[in-house]
Amino acid sequence: MKESQKAKLDLLVASSLKVRKQEQPFITFDLSNGKNIYKCRAEAKADIDAFIKVANKHITQWYCHRWVDDDNNSMPDIEFTFSSDLSIEIMNLILNGLDDCHVMSQTLQLHENYTGIR
């Protein structure tokens, strides 16, 4: 990956995270491995943990944080950003087979298409 592509991706990931500026982490996802970056919302960290437990061989990097609305108010949901070689269809099959992971399934999108809306 060219350095300019990597810098552009770093900026995209950092600017799209809806967290307070003082809490905003700097994240670099490695795209040289051919994996896609996905994003979804979860009702609880336990939902994310259940998904990672099943799909862990296909998730190389991930980050989660409290979801924040446009007025910077913290919400109870968690946003989950991760890289994987699985397709959205396969991940939805996994999520639909897990208890109470419907919000993750309903909001799962490629990072650049993510809205968080169910």
The domain that holds 87 is classified in CATH as 3.30.70
Residue 14 lies in a domain: yes
pLDDT tens, 7-30? 444 544 444 444 333 344 446 666
Count the residues in the chain. Answer: 118
Domain that holds residue 98: 3-113
Question: For 63, which DSSP code?
Answer: E
Domain count, the chain: 1
Angstrom distance (rounded) from CA 31 to CA 36: 7
CA angle 69, 75, 76 (to 5 degrees): 155
Give the tens place of pLDDT for each residue, 69-97.
Answer: 677 777 788 999 999 999 999 999 999 99
Q: Which two tokens stand for residue 7?
A: 């810098």
Establish if 118 belongs to a structural domain: no
Model-level pTM?
0.71
Asked if residue 78 is part of any domain, the answer here is yes
Identify whether 12 is part of a domain.
yes
Residue 95: burial class (beta carbons within 10 Å; 0-12, 13-18, 19+): buried
Would you say residue 70 lies in a domain?
yes
Question: Which range has the top average pLDDT, 19-33, 35-49, 54-68, 72-86?
Answer: 35-49
